[in-house]
Chains A and B, each alone.
Chain A
Amino acid sequence: MGSTITIGYAGMTHLGINYAVAGAGKGFKIIGYDPKPELALELAAGKLPVVEPGLDEALQQRAQLMQFTANVNDLAACDIVYVAPDVATNDNGQSDLTYINELIAKVIPALNPHALLIILAQVPPGFTRKINFAAHRLYYQVETLIFGQALHRAECPERYIVGCANPDMPLDSRLNTYLQAFNCPILPMRYESAELAKIAINCCLVAAVSVANSLGELCENIGADWNEIVPALRLDKRIGEYAYLQTGLGLSGGNLERDLATVVNLAAEYGTDKAVIQSFRDNSSHRRNWPLNKLFDSILLHNPKAKIALWGLTYKENTHSLKNSPAIKLVRDLAGYTIHAFDPVVKALGNIGNVQFYDSAMAALDSADVLVIMTPWSEFKLADLGQIAQRMRNKVIIDPFKVFSAEQVKALNFEYITTGK
């Protein structure tokens, strides 16, 4: 390991930080730039604005190779500069490209005349080719950030998808050297194909999730158990062992929703069929209502004053992100109720709903009539069911992500409601 190539990351976001730390892990000198001076200072002090397994330790261990700055001119020392901002989405999942355009406009004048510029963000097809920059030094690279696994995936990517002005020309040797350090296939293709490849990957994931949720809901009504079906699917080579087949509460996090919105908008613009993709969005909306309806059906219909305990607020475990979180939707839907909540990371919600926070998961349970587990944090899996039973007034657990095993819970005479069965 070790290299004379210097890599810059512009935008110290969840994505940018994890990719930067991963690059340092391969021995490259890294310059992390963000226009916010306070963020650059915090990162230089080893304080992270995001939660990811292993990230704190990796940042500490690789600090000597990493420099954080709010001075864009420091990027002049870089051979390659990745632009890796968060691209915000609105309520319809549409991207707001204002910030990434501003960041690119700041970065380009600061680059040295030979540096490569690489767009590492979810942008709509056609975005990269429109950038006013020398085409032979401009690339687009698909990011494969998964919240909760971000560092691992940045360090051990399955493949690199690289958008180029002309895929028939060899990749710049510096980029080739950097990417080969991660020891995975490199797939060059034209810009538009690479931009759409990212969307295609997410559409395939959504298709699998939507199948799981649609058939899981059917299982809930006909006495089947989706968990019994899943192993049969995983053994089918056309589906695969890593397919997204867990039942859940629709799409959340924002990135999948963004890509569906992009496809629907492009389909409308170019007159192609959008019905399948639109149905994924509709199914997600439908599925997000599952917790509220199960709460009503199991307890609120006959006990409108029920005390509701809620574990987990983030959209998934091992993250601080609340983007499109089903838990937040539930809290909003239950605005007329006091929610007694605990989350390992989130300790306040501002004006959202009517939430009373507790210091521990168990403390939130006292005299509760129902426990709803909205994020499958690993610590919840270790909770003592006997203690839960003692603390609660009525023993009803709504557990969409199967934090507990149905058999264990039912053995303690809980009414147990989960997805897919």
Chain B
Amino acid sequence: MLKHLNATAMQPARVVILGAGGFVGSTAAHNLRAKGIKTLEVTRDQVDLQHADAASKLTALLQAGDVLLIAAAIAPCKNGEQLLANIQMQHAICEAIKSKNADLTQVVYISSDAVYADDVALANEDSKMQPSSFHGMMHAARELMLKGVCGAVPLAILRPSVLYGFNDPHNGYGPNRFFRLANEEKNITLFGGGEELRDHIYVNDVAEIIAQTMLHRSHGALNVATGQSHSFKEIADKVVKLMAADVVVEATPRQNAITHRHFDITACRQAFPEFRYTTLDAGLALVQKEYVAQQVTV
């Protein structure tokens, strides 16, 4: 669980965001800026973390008092090649952290609940890390790499569950893909009957937890999940209704056994008692509004 070094919220001097062009990074940057927090938003164009000069470039960017937010990854990580690339990126970041260890006030790493075993039906921060995918293995390894170099610098590891939001560039199975298909008036195909229960988290909530973690200068690990799990079928039906789409939600013959994932979010309630997660209905409605706004703009 997270422990706070700031009993009351205090703004960091500056937040350096790696992966600022990505889904989580850009949303976090927007949220931090809205709170009046100074940011340095680093994208691949500025520092290619796979390049040989990445560590030195990054070291040059870091100043005394900085908080470093690491939201840069090739994600989802699907194979060995991507795994190696992600490790290489993290190695460069770790080298920079080592060089600037005395200057950094906090490191925040965006990990994933994929670090847990597939059969952890009720996950909390003490659940065993037993990744079964390249993606989970990548995050687990990167967490360890950071723990090895952060030393006295407070390290917060945030493990979001399944993310959704309007700007998600990925087309993974779930709300984002369902919205795109509904928007394009294409049928939604479920895996089996879409029975699997998952905890879907609105990306703005992740951004707010990131901000709170920085304001309290927290360290430790925290899952970022709502505590409410829903089936893919339920979500697909909700999306179709929200988008008023004339599409069918189709079941397919099941290929894999059904697994469910729930989260015990006690640690989040203990860490941030005043924070309230966006409910699934409210979050999906917000995404739908973005689709409407996009159409109006077009």
Contacts and interface: CB of A to CB of B under 8 A. Distances in A.
Asked if A pairs with B, the answer is yes
Interface of A: 282, 285-286, 289, 292-293, 296, 300-301, 304, 333-334, 336-337
Given A286-B264, A292-B270, A293-B266, 10 more contacts: A282-B126, A285-B126, A286-B122, A289-B264, A292-B266, A292-B269, A300-B273, A333-B269, A334-B273, A336-B273
A289 B274 contact: no
A334 B266 CA distance: 12
Nearest to A301: B276
Of A289, A292, A301, A334, the most chain B CB neighbours within 10 A belong to: A289
A286 B122 CA distance: 10
A177 B276 CA distance: 66
21 contacts: A282-B126, A285-B126, A286-B122, A286-B124, A286-B264, A289-B264, A289-B266, A292-B266, A292-B269, A292-B270, A293-B266, A293-B269, A296-B269, A304-B273, A304-B274, A333-B266, A333-B269, A333-B270, A336-B273, A336-B274, A337-B273
A275 to B, nearest CB: 11
A373 B243 CA distance: 46
A355 to B, nearest CB: 16
Nearest to A334: B273
Contacts of A286: 122, 124, 264
A292 B1 CA distance: 15
Nearest to A288: B266
Interface in B256-293: 264, 266, 269-270, 273-274, 276
A192 B265 CA distance: 42
Interface string B75-114: 0000000000000000000000000000000000000000
Contacts of A285: 126
Contacts of A282: 126
Nearest to B277: A301
Nearest to B127: A282
Contacts of B126: 282, 285
Interface in B237-256: none
Of B122, B126, B266, B274, the most chain A CB neighbours within 10 A belong to: B266
A286 B267 CA distance: 11
Contacts of A336: 273-274
B270 to A, nearest CB: 5
Contacts of B122: 286
Contacts of A292: 266, 269-270
Contacts of B269: 292-293, 296, 333
A282 B124 CA distance: 11
Contacts of A289: 264, 266
Nearest to B227: A293
B96 to A, nearest CB: 36
Contacts of B273: 300, 304, 334, 336-337
A285 B125 CA distance: 12
The 10 A-B pairs at the shortest CB distance, nearest first, are namely A289-B266, A333-B270, A336-B273, A296-B269, A304-B274, A293-B266, A292-B266, A292-B269, A301-B276, A286-B264
A293 B270 CA distance: 10
A4 to B, nearest CB: 57
Contacts of A300: 273
B227 to A, nearest CB: 8
A313 B270 CA distance: 19
B276 to A, nearest CB: 6
A196 B124 CA distance: 32
Of B122, B270, B276, the most chain A CB neighbours within 10 A belong to: B270
Nearest to B270: A333
A292 B122 CA distance: 17
Contacts of B270: 292, 333
Nearest to B265: A293
B82 to A, nearest CB: 34
B36 to A, nearest CB: 23
